Amino acid sequence: MPATWIFLIVLALAAIGYVLGRSRALASAGGDSRHLHSLPSYYGANAALLALVPSLLVLVIWLFAQPLVIQNRVEHLVPETSYETEGELSLLMSDVRRIADGLDLAVERGALTEDEASDIRVEFTDIRERLGAVGVALGSDVQAPMLAAAKAWREMNASGNLIRTVVVLLVALAGFGLGLTRARKDFRARNSVEKVIKGLLIVAASLAILTTLGIVLSLLFNTIEFFRLYPALDFFFGTTWAPSFGGGSELGILPLLWGTLYISIIALAVAVPIGLFAAVYLSEYASPAVRSFAKPLIEVLAGIPTIVYGLFALLTVGPLLFQAFGPGTLGWMGGGRAVMTAGLVMGIMLIPFVSSLSDDIINAVPQAMRDGSLGLGATKSETVKQVVLPAALPGIVGAILLAASRAIGETMIVVLGAGAAARLSMNPFEAMTTVTAKIVSQLTGDADFASPEALVAFALGMTLFVITLGLNVFALWIVRKYREQYE
Amino acid sequence: MTDATASGVPAGKHTSGSLLEQSPRTKRRNASEARFRFYGMAAVGIGLVFLVLLLIAIVRNGVPAYTQTFLSLPIELKAEALDKNGNRDLEDIRKVSTFGYNPLLDEALLRVVADNGIESDYSGADLRKMISSSAAAQVRDYVLTHPAQIGETVEFRVLASSRVDGYLKGRVLREDLERDKNLDAAHLDIIDVLKDAGAVTRTFNWAFIFGADASESRPEQAGIGVSMLGSLFMMIVVLVLSLPIGVAASIYLEEFAPKNRWTDLIEVNISNLAAVPSIVFGILGLAVFIQFMHLPQSAPLVGGLVLTLMTLPTIIISTRASLKSVPPSIRDAALGVGASKMQSVFHHVLPLAMPGILTGTIIGLAQALGETAPLLLIGMVGYIASNYPDGVASGFLDPNSAMPAQIYEWAKRADPAYYERAWGGIIILLLFLMTMNIIAVILRRRFERRW
């Protein structure tokens, strides 16, 4: 029975449990709800939750565990002579899976009967052709051991599914029964229901930890796999980035880090002065009318998706800069895609980020400090320069660090605007590339997932994650420390 | 402050003390004040100028995508070419491939050119460069649905090729065509005459808004409709998952969580996840959903799951803020009349916080709608979204594109005619985002209570 059906049955059971539990509890109180400990609906909800939660938990765990267990068992059936590395084995296993799924599909579509599918043999049938007819494309002809493995897979899957159905439904029924027997007037249904709901709330909140764990683990395992194929020292200290999908690639991260850093520096050089001055003007000088008009408009820049900025860099800013600095005039630029293009556009994107964060921080400086300075005869600008900004400095540094981490992790602008060549150069009008752009290009190419050329993307992702995480933690720490100072 | 005493006027040595005339030092200070103020205004001005430039670039480059050039062509659907047996059997008609329709198009084009009195030594195949290569398929589809029309002459509006379209929109210039093997300047002379005669027209391009993507060589046919559906299915996944999970997590953290290590860990995690680069979520999606769980590549379901993980922190942060703004007296009143903690939250606090939660959710959804980078890694780019999904399940599970991914895809293609489509797509994307943000603002203005 497919998982959706099980799910629907359990859901129906829970609905019945709700109605029955409610009416049983009422009946036990003689129809007068005042004699119940909790409201009648709690008795119903209790029965429904008992039927629903444990059985769905079992179902979800089963759905995850079954393929892993079967994979583990079937792996032994693939002869050890047919593969050398883990990567090849995983490719073979995915073939086995596809054959097994294909046989299932063929049975479902009526192209094969169940008996034919379980007795099928490579010697007599062209399996590739038969499966192709139902729309399952196989990369190569099917070998006998692979077919045996696929058949074993099917059998285990079928029996696993049967056991799954039985177990899940039994658990649901048990919960259903327990919920109903408990639906008596002295039972503290509200407390019991609330305990379950609180558990669910905790699970939802813990999802954040699960996400972080998922990120770290998926990066970590693949990075370790990469370092097994490619020396870590060469990766971190290599100065050439030259992946070639035939093998013998040089994968040094330094040129990528340099490109990332250079673009970020230009972006910050644009965003920080403009953002900071805008924040100072809007919070210290502007009339309320100007502020309520200009502030939201500048923040519109933050709501525009990065793909728009990417296109703006590629099709508007790039050609403009090329006209100004290209071969026609100064000859500094070889094409529209350059560090400058990406940096400028990214700077525009970061303006609202810097300005609204700094605005908050400047507003948090107590008014008494300004009044004191103005009272001593300082002008407004002197007050800002000598009192407000020094007081707000740690917070502003935090804001700039947050903006820097944004710039380092930005993808679409650099993919479209910065170019694809990895270079260690000082010329800001040359095309360079960044860590994020290379993650995209290494993972969207045709490379086999087990090759160092694809796995390097995970090592790059890990580097990016560590750098941005470090920056964020540091920046948040500074901002928090600063806030406490004036609260 | 130490500056002021050091440079202050020493006692007993009065320089010009006039109130009417500024001393040089005051003048300098006032000038620097004015300068500082000007810098601030300039910074705000530059920010606004960038915004205006961006919008001008989008509108100027994108609006042409909303009109499209068509050529009215009376085509004689010859029975001997389309239905050799003459029995109007659909099976036989279907056997004629689109190639079989090209001679009919050639003939019709030659006739149109001759009728308008144009001298031209182009053959029919040369003239066919003026129209889209989709024209033959268009005529074939018509014949298959109206087999009775075979033998008649039917007036078709076929798409002009992207070069012709670009010429009429001013994007393609005569000089550009010298190195172009797809069209010659002489074609443009024909187009000019046909335009004056009314055979070539430009109308609003509904096909761009509702149509499917086309292959690399047919930019005139490409539309954003299918990827809009992809985005819609993704947003459904994001909404269905992130709203309940986000609200549940926020309720726990704001109302129930004890102050312990686990809670601290969750809080730190949420604030860090909000700042993790989006591309890292793409890597997570690739590794967990596609490599580990074997979910289908390029499916809106996977895209939705990845975007859910990405928007959850945003939603949690805004939901917590709106829960926090409900005054404690509400909770106390509920507890006072015998409600449990859970009842006070679900029956009283949550409904009062709902406008704020919905506002935050809409803003989170808008963010997710415009996000591109993670979608690149789970295979939503490079896929040509040419078919509408045929049902709800296939909408979630079949490969599709999404609006921003489609725009990126167009931006990468070599033909500049696709750039116009990309800008046009951005206009639609921004309209969606604007609508969502306006709804959020209205929600906040109308329903949010100040305590």
A297 in the same domain as A155: no
**8 Å CB contact of B270 and A208:** yes
Residue B296 has pLDDT above 90, yes or no: no
Q: What is the ipTM of this complex?
A: 0.88
A245 in the same domain as A212: no
Residue A63: CB atoms within 10 A of its CB come to: 12
What per-residue confidence (pLDDT) applies to A460? 93
Question: Looking at the DSSP assignment, which residues form a beta bridge with residue B160?
Answer: B131
**Lowest mean pLDDT across A51-60, A391-400, A434-443, B183-192:** B183-192
Residue B51 has pLDDT above 60, yes or no: yes
Predicted confidence band at A306 (pLDDT cuts at 50, 70, 90)?
very high
**8 Å CB contact of B426 and A274:** no
Across the interface, of A194, A277, A402, the residue whose CB is closest to B40 is A277
What per-residue confidence (pLDDT) applies to B331? 94
For B153, list phi and psi in degrees, rounded to 5. -105, 125
CA–CA gap between residue B82 and residue B146 (Å, rounded): 12
- Its domain, for residue A407, covers 241-486
**8 Å CB contact of B279 and A461:** yes
Predicted confidence band at A12 (pLDDT cuts at 50, 70, 90)?
very high
Across the interface, of B253, B309, B423, the residue whose CB is closest to A211 is B309
Residue B227 has pLDDT above 80, yes or no: yes
Residue A42: CB atoms within 10 A of its CB come to: 23
Across the interface, of A281, A311, A382, the residue whose CB is closest to B422 is A311
Domain assignment of residue A265, yes or no: yes
Question: Any idea what DSSP says for residue B340?
Answer: -
Domain-ending residue, one of A224, A257, A284:
A224
Across the interface, of B253, B407, B437, the residue whose CB is closest to A311 is B407
What per-residue confidence (pLDDT) applies to B13? 53
Alpha helices of A230-243 — where are they, by DSSP H?
Answer: 232-237
Mutual orientation of helices A144-182 and A40-74 as an angle, nearest 10°?
160
Interface mutation vs chain B, best among A281, A356, A479, most B CBs within 10 Å: A281
**Lowest mean pLDDT across A424-428, B315-319, B380-384:** B380-384
A319: domain CATH number is: 1.10.3720.10
A208 in the same domain as A263: no
CA–CA gap between residue B318 and residue B444 (Å, rounded): 13
What per-residue confidence (pLDDT) applies to A86? 64
Instruction: Tell me the per-residue pLDDT of A118-153, one tens digit each, with 9 for 90 and over.
Output: 777 766 666 777 776 666 666 666 677 777 888 888
Which is it for the CA torsion A344, A350, A354, A360, positive or negative?
positive
Q: How far is CA A279 from the centre of its chain?
A: 32
Interface mutation vs chain B, best among A284, A358, A381, most B CBs within 10 Å: A381
Domain assignment of residue A229, yes or no: no
A320 in the same domain as A456: yes
As given in the structure block, the two tokens for residue A30 are 């003689």
Domain assignment of residue A344, yes or no: yes
**8 Å CB contact of B372 and A411:** yes
Min Cα–Cα distance to chain B from A123, Å: 30
Question: Any idea what DSSP says for residue A316?
Answer: I
Report whether A394 contacts A481 (CB < 8 A): yes
Domain assignment of residue A233, yes or no: no
> B375: exposed, middle or buried (C-beta count within 10 Å: 0-12, 13-18, 19+)?
buried
Which chain A residues are closer than 8 Å to B335 by Cβ? none
Domain assignment of residue A235, yes or no: no
Which chain B residues are closer than 8 Å to A343 by Cβ? none
User: What mean pLDDT do residues A400-414 have?
Assistant: 92
CA–CA gap between residue A369 and residue B35 (Å, rounded): 23
A259 in the same domain as A219: no
Tell me the whole-structure pTM to 2 decimals. Answer: 0.86
Domain-ending residue, one of A164, A199, A224:
A224
Predicted confidence band at B6 (pLDDT cuts at 50, 70, 90)?
very low
Domains of chain B: 66-204 (no CATH), 225-447 (1.10.3720.10)
User: What mean pLDDT do residues A312-323 have?
Assistant: 89
Residue B209 has pLDDT above 60, yes or no: yes
A188 in the same domain as A318: no
Residue B2 has pLDDT above 50, yes or no: no
Predicted confidence band at B85 (pLDDT cuts at 50, 70, 90)?
confident
Q: Say how many CB pairs under 8 Å bridge A and B.
A: 259
Interface mutation vs chain A, best among B44, B235, B276, most A CBs within 10 Å: B44
Which chain B residues are closer than 8 Å to A214 by Cβ? 284, 287-288
Report whether B200 contacts B168 (CB < 8 A): yes
Predicted confidence band at B4 (pLDDT cuts at 50, 70, 90)?
very low
Question: Looking at the DSSP assignment, which residues form a beta bridge with residue B153?
Answer: B76
Q: What angle do CA B339, B345, B348 make, to 5 degrees?
A: 80
A366 in the same domain as A337: yes
Instruction: Tell me the per-residue pLDDT of B94-145, one tens digit each, with 9 for 90 and over.
Output: 777 888 888 888 888 888 888 877 777 777 778 888 888 888 888 888 888 8
Computed over every residue of chain B, the mean pLDDT equals 85
**8 Å CB contact of B280 and A311:** no
A396 in the same domain as A321: yes
For A143, list phi and psi in degrees, rounded to 5. -90, 155
Residue B367: CB atoms within 10 A of its CB come to: 20
Which chain B residues are closer than 8 Å to A461 by Cβ? 279-280, 283
Instruction: Tell me the per-residue pLDDT of B391-442, one tens digit each, with 9 for 90 and over.
Output: 777 778 888 888 999 999 888 887 888 898 999 999 999 999 999 999 988 8
**8 Å CB contact of A382 and B249:** no
Across the interface, of B61, B271, B280, the residue whose CB is closest to A215 is B280
Q: How far is CA A28 from the centre of its chain?
A: 51
Domain assignment of residue A262, yes or no: yes
- Residue bearing tokens 């004191």: A372
Categorise residue B117: left if φ over 0, alpha if ψ from -120 to 50, beta otherwise.
left
CA–CA gap between residue A21 and residue A183 (Å, rounded): 6
Report whether A245 contacts A453 (CB < 8 A): yes
CA–CA gap between residue A40 and residue B14 (Å, rounded): 90
A183 in the same domain as A277: no
Residue B336 or A80, more confident: B336
Which chain B residues are closer than 8 Å to A311 by Cβ? 407, 411, 422-423, 426
The total of structural domains in chain A comes to 2
Across the interface, of B36, B288, B340, the residue whose CB is closest to A194 is B340
A271 in the same domain as A173: no
Domain assignment of residue A100, yes or no: yes
Predicted confidence band at A257 (pLDDT cuts at 50, 70, 90)?
very high
What per-residue confidence (pLDDT) applies to A55? 92
Categorise residue A189: left if φ over 0, alpha if ψ from -120 to 50, beta otherwise.
alpha
CA–CA gap between residue A94 and residue B188 (Å, rounded): 55
Across the interface, of A194, A376, A416, the residue whose CB is closest to B1 is A376
Predicted confidence band at B238 (pLDDT cuts at 50, 70, 90)?
very high
What per-residue confidence (pLDDT) applies to A487? 57
As given in the structure block, the two tokens for residue A148 are 């045996």
What per-residue confidence (pLDDT) applies to B248? 95
A202 in the same domain as A117: yes
Predicted confidence band at B1 (pLDDT cuts at 50, 70, 90)?
very low
A311 in the same domain as A215: no
Domain assignment of residue A371, yes or no: yes
Residue B10 has pLDDT above 60, yes or no: no
User: What mean pLDDT do residues A35-55 have?
Assistant: 89
Report whether A204 contacts B252 (CB < 8 A): yes
Domain-ending residue, one of A173, A194, A224:
A224
